[in-house]
Amino acid sequence: MAELGDTEATEGDHLEGLYGLTDDLVRATLAAIGAGDRQRLKSLTKPLHAADMADLLQALSARNRDLLEGFLGEEFDPEVFVHLDEAIREDLIEDLDSAELARVVTELESDDAVELIEDLEVAKQRALLESVSAVDRALYEAALGFPEDSAGRLMRREYAAVPSIWDVGQTIDYMRADPDVPEAFYGLFVVGPDNKPLGVIMTSRLLRTKRPVAVTDIMEPDIKLIPGSMDQEDVAFLFRQYGLVEAPVVDEVGRIIGVITVDDVVDVIHEEHEEDLLKLGGVAVDDLYEAVADTIKSRLSWLCLNLLTAILASVVIGFFQAEIEKVVALAVLMPIVASMGGNAGTQTLTVSVRALAMKELTPGNAMRIIGKEVLVGGINGIVFAVLAGGVAYFWFSDLLIGIVIGVAMVINLLVAGLAGILIPLVIDRAGADPAVGSSIVLTTVTDIVGFLCFLGLATIVLL
């Protein structure tokens, strides 16, 4: 068996050193698992970052994942669970008893521990909470008391804060000596006697300031306070809007209870982006690593809904069955109108859903954006009316067919542009997620309008 680096160069070797996971490493790990070589497995996986170790586990079959976890035992880094796909994480956690699971969560930072605990089944969650210390249990229960996907769930409970009466020298001594100071942080929060944050001092500025200077003289007082109940999407918006790297989370009366850092927000942005992308495609969750039966179940409802909308479009076509039988060209050309309308509408829909998520599309500018999208749809309709009409004319040597498809194209692209922005706006105004179901509604609208316009105009003009 070849050692790492002994095999021929593979595609992507120019990334060597940037990423910890390679094809050679996967093959070497599989060979070591097959041979039951525990020491070899430890030497292969020890240098890996937790995220790379998670990628390695996801590259293995379920059986080999369980074997690798068993071989590593207590040397399995708990942080790996944070980076795993949810389905694989659940699979690995099932093999852990309450004591082992308690060891995992207590070695994680509080925000990562809460993320792991909140996904557990109720019975396993209760057993885990009974296995940790009273202090940790109170911390986790308080976090779980916040709404799902809120700042209270997202925040890290470990933060650095100093009283407003201290000076720089006292603060530096505190950072060096107090074991409760987090291992890594961007800044220290200056708090009053009531534990309400007054400002923040970046560590770089603190270390460049002389010891006798009061912390209130060098703190930045303009800080953004995040309520614990704030939705994580709004948290991500604040970080993006104001270029934040860290922000304190406060309770109902304004006392600091935790901190959110930019690395947490990067995960939120990725999660929300992935969620919206999946919903636009009619997939409820990322089911790449789910079992076949679970994947079928999650996709079946959307496909059933799509079938119903397709039947509705077919009913419209059925009204013109006699006309289609008389003019075969109608059957050949009608998919063009519906397809162009669907694609144009999807372009507008994608931009609109993103704009709503980023809070760029608001009631104040909605009418202007709607007008713009209708105008774009109309102009595109005219351009493609000329192109499609010309193709139809030369194909069937019939000017009227070219005119009919051209007019239908203009109408459908106008409707597509209008529907592409109105559908997500209406869904958002109703308090639902505009990414959910918008694409199916849009496709139904553009199909029905496209078929109705084209076949209806053809009936009037040609027959």
Predicted local confidence at residue 277, as pLDDT: 66
For the full predicted model, state whether its pTM sits above 0.75.
no
What are the C-alpha distances in Å from 172 to residues 176, 179, 183, 441? 6, 13, 14, 60
Predicted local confidence at residue 170, as pLDDT: 94
Interval 92-130: pLDDT, tens: 888 788 888 888 888 888 888 888 888 888 888 888 888
Residue 276: which pLDDT band, with cuts at 50, 70 and 90? Answer: low
Predicted local confidence at residue 422, as pLDDT: 92
CB atoms within 10 A of CB 150: 20
Residue 461: which pLDDT band, with cuts at 50, 70 and 90? Answer: confident
Residue 8: which pLDDT band, with cuts at 50, 70 and 90? Answer: very low
Q: With both helix axes pointing from N to C terminus, report the angle between 134-144 and 122-131 in degrees, rounded to the nearest 10.
A: 150
Predicted local confidence at residue 291, as pLDDT: 60
Q: pLDDT above 70 covers what percent of the chain?
A: 88
Lowest mean pLDDT among 16-30, 233-247, 434-448: 16-30
Q: From CA 423, how far away is CA 442, in angstroms rounded?
A: 7
Domains, the chain: 13-154 (1.25.60.10), 161-280 (3.10.580.10), 292-462 (1.10.357.20)
Predicted local confidence at residue 439, as pLDDT: 81
Tell me which of 323 and 126 has the higher pLDDT: 126
Predicted local confidence at residue 6, as pLDDT: 38
E strand map for 186-326: 187-191, 197-202, 226-227, 246-250, 256-261
Q: Answer for the pair 152, 249: CB distance below 8 angstroms, yes or no.
A: yes
Question: Residue 447 pLDDT > 80, yes or no?
Answer: yes
Lowest mean pLDDT among 7-11, 170-174, 351-355, 450-454: 7-11
Selection from 36, 25, 21, 19 nearest residue 2 by Cα: 25
Q: From CA 377, how far away is CA 375, in angstroms rounded?
A: 5
Interval 304-317: pLDDT, tens: 766 677 778 778 87
Interval 145-189: pLDDT, tens: 899 889 999 998 889 999 999 999 999 999 888 888 888 888 899
